[in-house]
Amino acid sequence: MDCIKLLPDNIANQIAAGEVVQRPASAVKELLENALDAGATEIKLNVKEGGTLLIQVIDNGFGMSPTDARMCWERHATSKIVKADDLFRLTSFGFRGEALASIAAIAHVDMKTKRREDELGTHIRIEGSKIIEQEQIACLNGTQFAIKNLFYNVPARRNFLKSIPVELRHIIDEFTRVAMPHHQIAFSLFHNDKEVFDLKPASAAQRIAELMNKKNDKDFLQVNESHDLLNVKGFVGKPEIAKKTRGEQFLFVNNRYIKDAYLHHAIVNAFDQLIAKDQYPMYVLFLDIEPSRIDVNIHPTKTEIKFDDERAIYTLVKSAVKKALGQYVVIPELEFSDPNVFNPVAFLQQTSTETVKKPSGGSQQFSPFPGNNSMRGVQTAQWHKLFENQYLENRQEKPDEPQQQLKIENQLNKISDAFQLANGYLIAKKNDQLIIVDQRAAHERILFEKYMHSIERRSAPIQQLLFPRTLELSGTDYILAHELLDEMKELGFDVADFGSNCLIINGVPAETIKGTEKELLEGLLEHYKQNASQFAGDKRKALAVSLAQNEAILRTRSLKTEEISDLLNQLFECEQAATRPNGKAVFVEFSSTYLNDLFK
């Protein structure tokens, strides 16, 4: 008996939809790109409930004839290519003819389309790949798509969708990637009838500034390099606006957004020694290359491209960015002839011939001289107090556990002869065992348990700021931060909404020590994005891990003897001292027997 059968079209379309339409943002991307291919100069996107309830795209493009309006829903029906060789001369976004068929297989679709030369347009209604209705109607020139109840007939896929804010973040990402290179086209985005973006035709710099919520496009350095192989245009951010969060890195090839770790490495390399290792530069680069030298048909989402000469592309991109940085990143010039401007040359000449004396009288604690920075000295010298205070606090919270305290104290007393290696490892002796501790991992474990206790007690100490700070974020980071406001308050952040894509910071956790309030919150959001999938469903734990990772001391930090002792004492008081929150080891132990065996 024969067992191989040809799948019905509706089932085949659902299978294809699994690759093409992974979430509402995937459908948004396909519909926006179709509108661009149709020559639209104005595109409107309206979504409801993160795209799960409605995705509506309205454009003023060429429109379709009644025959094309019906044919476009068939699999592999396309106007972009005729033969296989056309794949290597592509100038359009779509070419496979799978997107609309895939969308129609898993949603309720309503389409209205009309060409400029036609008196009436065409209205088609589809449910699960079946055309329910087709009629002639009066409508505007162009095409209107309304995708309703996405994944209504694929409940398993619908259950895998995230929350509405998460899905909205992905939609904004796709909208940004389409609208950014096409600055001459008007775009608008509404969510639940609330305006998110209203973009008018503008210059490339203005469009980028609007989408990335940059009030000053003077922070951009222009990149413009031409070569026989490649033209590189666009903008990179000045080193001083680099952030600890990803999301402001955009790379386009022939106006198509791509993800390429190799070229990203080239751009970051160009910023070498200009930004910190844990910062990410802002860049928006447009690469124009002959279509025959690339292959875009290697991934279902078309976000990956294969170049015929990757090494040459790498070198050209890196040199173009370095040239832009070299031309624009300069030391500010000062007019030393102005008596109100500090002149370092005159100052050095003066101090070489006379001794500068500290003024008498006044407060003995205040000195304008940089050598008497008493406050900074206290902070550095008392670094270990961060651990000591928490250690004493935890001991006071457990008066009814004398045996546990005795066990901890006995264990602490056994740690001795501790010292630090240059690469961030602490060496200590416990009885007849040798212990090697990763100092950053140890601090991360200590901070994580402290933050988790603060969340459980809902009593995290807050350091109120004398002058509140405002923080402007990208659209996706703003939605993420807004979603985490309640959990951040439990960690000690006093943060509130402050308008479009902006937060106001009134206070931060009392014992945070790294960087400014802006860097602290950016670092928290970036680490959260990395940890969110690992702790899916537990936002509090993911935030505690993220803040601990952001605040943990670096392995390159040199510690004093008392700081090493306090760090080890606090570590071995933790409930899970042996591992970091991600399960990796904090320390290793070597018994005397094992050491003896090594030298036999």
Task: Tell whether 505 and 479 lie within a shared domain.
Answer: yes
Pairing of strands 249-253, 283-288: parallel
- Residue 18 has a pLDDT of 58
- Residue 19 has a pLDDT of 61
Residue 357 lies in a domain: no
pLDDT digits (tens, 9 = 90+) for 139-159: 999 999 999 999 888 888 888
pLDDT (mean) for 277-296: 88
pLDDT digits (tens, 9 = 90+) for 174-213: 999 999 999 999 999 999 999 989 999 999 999 998 888 7
The whole domain housing 556 covers: 385-589
Domain count, the chain: 3
Residue 367 lies in a domain: no
Task: Tell whether 121 and 70 lie within a shared domain.
Answer: yes
Residue 57 lies in a domain: yes
The Cα 43–Cα 39 span in angstroms is: 10
Task: Tell whether 21 and 47 lie within a shared domain.
Answer: yes
One-letter amino acid at 252 equals F
pLDDT (mean) for 513-534: 76
Give the least confident one: 24-38, 208-222, 303-317. 208-222
Residue 111 lies in a domain: yes
Whole-model pTM? 0.68
* C-alpha separations of 96 from 75, 90, 122 in Å: 9, 11, 24
- Residue 17 has a pLDDT of 58
pLDDT (mean) for 298-302: 67
- Residue 442 has a pLDDT of 92
Task: Tell whether 258 and 191 lie within a shared domain.
Answer: no
Boundary residue ending a domain (170, 201, 232): 201
CATH of the domain at 260: 3.30.230.10
**Partners of 509 in the β-ladder:** 462
Task: Tell whether 187 and 218 lie within a shared domain.
Answer: no
**Partners of 130 in the β-ladder:** 127
The Cα 182–Cα 38 span in angstroms is: 14
**Partners of 591 in the β-ladder:** 433
Task: Tell whether 141 and 239 lie within a shared domain.
Answer: no
Percent of the chain surpassing pLDDT 70? 76
- Residue 538 has a pLDDT of 76
Residue 412 lies in a domain: yes
Buried/exposed 267-306: b ≥16 CB within 10 Å, e otherwise: bbebbeeebeeebbbbbbbbbebeeeebebbeebebeebe
pLDDT digits (tens, 9 = 90+) for 329-368: 543 444 444 454 444 445 445 544 444 454 444 444 444 4
Task: Tell whether 84 and 178 lie within a shared domain.
Answer: yes
Task: Tell whether 275 and 220 lie within a shared domain.
Answer: yes
The Cα 284–Cα 67 span in angstroms is: 40
pLDDT digits (tens, 9 = 90+) for 220-253: 899 999 998 899 999 999 888 888 778 889 999 9
- Residue 202 has a pLDDT of 93
- Token representation of residue 587: 């320390």
Boundary residue ending a domain (289, 309, 328): 328
Task: Tell whether 296 and 404 lie within a shared domain.
Answer: no
Task: Tell whether 148 and 262 lie within a shared domain.
Answer: no
One-letter amino acid at 455 equals I
The pLDDT-based confidence of 97 (bands split at 50, 70, 90) is low
Q: Where are the beta strands (DSSP E) in 344-455?
A: 415-420, 425-430, 433-438
Task: Tell whether 187 and 245 lie within a shared domain.
Answer: no
Task: Tell whether 46 and 139 lie within a shared domain.
Answer: yes
Maximum average pLDDT range among 73-77, 121-125, 485-489, 592-596: 121-125
Q: Give the residue among 7, 69, 9 at the shortest CA–CA distance from 34.
A: 69
CATH of the domain at 169: 3.30.565.10
Boundary residue ending a domain (312, 328, 344): 328
pLDDT digits (tens, 9 = 90+) for 396-448: 444 444 444 444 444 444 566 788 887 788 888 877 788 889 999 999 999 88
Residue 374 lies in a domain: no
